[in-house]
Amino acid sequence: MASRANNRIRFAATGESLQAMSPVEALAWLAETVDKGAALDGVTLAGPGDPLADLGPTLEVLSLIRAKYPEMELGITTLGLGAEQAAEALLKAGVSRVTLLVDGIDLDVIRKLYAWIRPGYRTVPLPAATEMLLSEQVMAMKAFVGNGCSVGIRTTIYPGYNDAHAEDIARIMGSLGAEFMAVASYVPVEGEEALLERPTPEMMATIHAQVSKHLRLIVVPETITAHAQNCSECGCQSPATFQPKPSTGRPNVAVVSSGGMEVDLHLGHAAKALIYGPREDGLTCLLETRSLPEPGFGSARWELLADILKDCFVLLAASAGESPKKILADRGIRVLITDDDIAGIVDVLYGGGKKGSQCRKGKAA
């Protein structure tokens, strides 16, 4: 649910990242998961960005979860930038466990691993940023451990970069109070050029033995590494696959598009919306085009839009501001940001494949 990134590993995926959920959407996903009977002992906030890169939404979702599920254990997975300053607020919000993403504790190793690090709202030159990262991770350990949090480490092994460094990470972080170290293998992203070879089983076995000397070892399966790089422990459920679904009261999809083929408009620039939904025979089609409120009414514009789209469960746009996303989410309409073709994404939302059959009744007026 964290939308803002504060770092990038050189070997990370270059394609489009997962879209973050709003706090309201995150609570809805959790409620849906609980209602399905999932046995959850806690919730960890992680990715696709960093929960501490924008603290406001993180505290908001923690508050929402605490209000609805007061007994549920709360945690975060973070790089640790800004953790010392945020620790008090996080502890008050109910956070009791923290997983720190530590892929190196040597400046040379870190500088080779990271493409950039952004401690605040601007990118700092890498030499200075790596020094700041090391310092803030140590301060994060002290702040959380000192206040009674359960703190663990997650390390991804990048062959030729930090594979000979894992035991040092375990030893030093263990001395600072870490309780476990989750070790993951670098896994090339499916469909993208592999920038590194995967670690060999022999390499990982050696690293596991080294780490076990200092900390409780958690081996992260490659299936989890591949789809949830920020997952704090194996076996957790990821909201990455969560998507809004039609209901009896909200069966339709709204789309803003300049030509009726692709989702290519900013919500704030859209004058009309295409409404897709099931016909009487069950086939999903373009049903109609609706005029949208004109700019200039502040938040009232988005409240009016929610009324216009009261039969829609999702709105597709190429971009949208935080205010309309929050207002519409509060009114039961999730805003999905995408630049995909309309036929494909609508078909997926109704449970079909990426390019399933679609009925389309022409282009946008």
Mean confidence (pLDDT) of the chain: 86
Sorted by where each begins, the domain ranges of the chain are 7-241, 252-349
Query: What integer is the mean pLDDT of 126-131?
Result: 94
Model pLDDT, residue 49:
85
Band of pLDDT at residue 296, cut at 50, 70 and 90? confident
Q: Return the DSSP state at 341.
A: B
Band of pLDDT at residue 245, cut at 50, 70 and 90? confident
Query: What integer is the mean pLDDT of 136-141?
Result: 97
Lowest mean pLDDT segment, chosen from 233-237, 316-320, 332-336, 355-359? 233-237
pLDDT digits (tens, 9 = 90+) for 42-65: 999 987 789 999 899 899 999 999
Question: Could you tell me what percent of the chain has a pLDDT over 70?
Answer: 87
Model pLDDT, residue 362:
37
User: Is residue 187's pLDDT more than 80?
Assistant: yes
Helices (DSSP H) in the chain: which residue ranges? Answer: 23-35, 55-68, 83-92, 107-113, 126-146, 166-175, 201-212, 222-227, 299-308, 322-330, 342-349
User: Is residue 224's pLDDT more than 70?
Assistant: no
Query: What integer is the mean pLDDT of 187-215?
Result: 87
The end-to-end CA distance of the chain, in Å, is 35
User: Is residue 315's pLDDT more than 90?
Assistant: yes
Model pLDDT, residue 12:
76
Model pLDDT, residue 353:
54
Report residue 290: phi and psi, to 5°. -120, 140
Model pLDDT, residue 40:
85
Lowest mean pLDDT segment, chosen from 24-28, 106-110, 281-285, 354-358? 354-358
187 C-beta neighbours (distance < 10 Å), count: 20
User: Is residue 119's pLDDT more than 80?
Assistant: yes
Beta-strand ranges (E) seen in 165-311 are 180-185, 216-219, 252-255, 272-278, 284-291
Model pLDDT, residue 297:
82
Q: What CATH number does the domain located at 252-349 have?
A: 3.30.420.130
Band of pLDDT at residue 341, cut at 50, 70 and 90? confident
Beta-strand relationship, 284-291 and 272-278:
antiparallel
Question: What's the chain's length in residues?
Answer: 365
Query: What integer is the mean pLDDT of 93-115?
Result: 96
Model pLDDT, residue 105:
94
Look up the pTM and report it.
0.73
Asked if the peptide bond before residue 51 counts as cis, ω within 30 degrees of 0, the response is: no
Q: Token pair of 215, please? A: 């900390």
Instruction: Give CA–CA dist 52/76, Å, rounded.
Output: 9
The domain made up of 7-241 is a member of CATH 3.40.50.720: no
Q: Token pair of 232, please? A: 């704090």
Model pLDDT, residue 327:
92
Query: What integer is the mean pLDDT of 35-41?
Result: 84
Query: What integer is the mean pLDDT of 250-262?
Result: 94
Band of pLDDT at residue 361, cut at 50, 70 and 90? very low
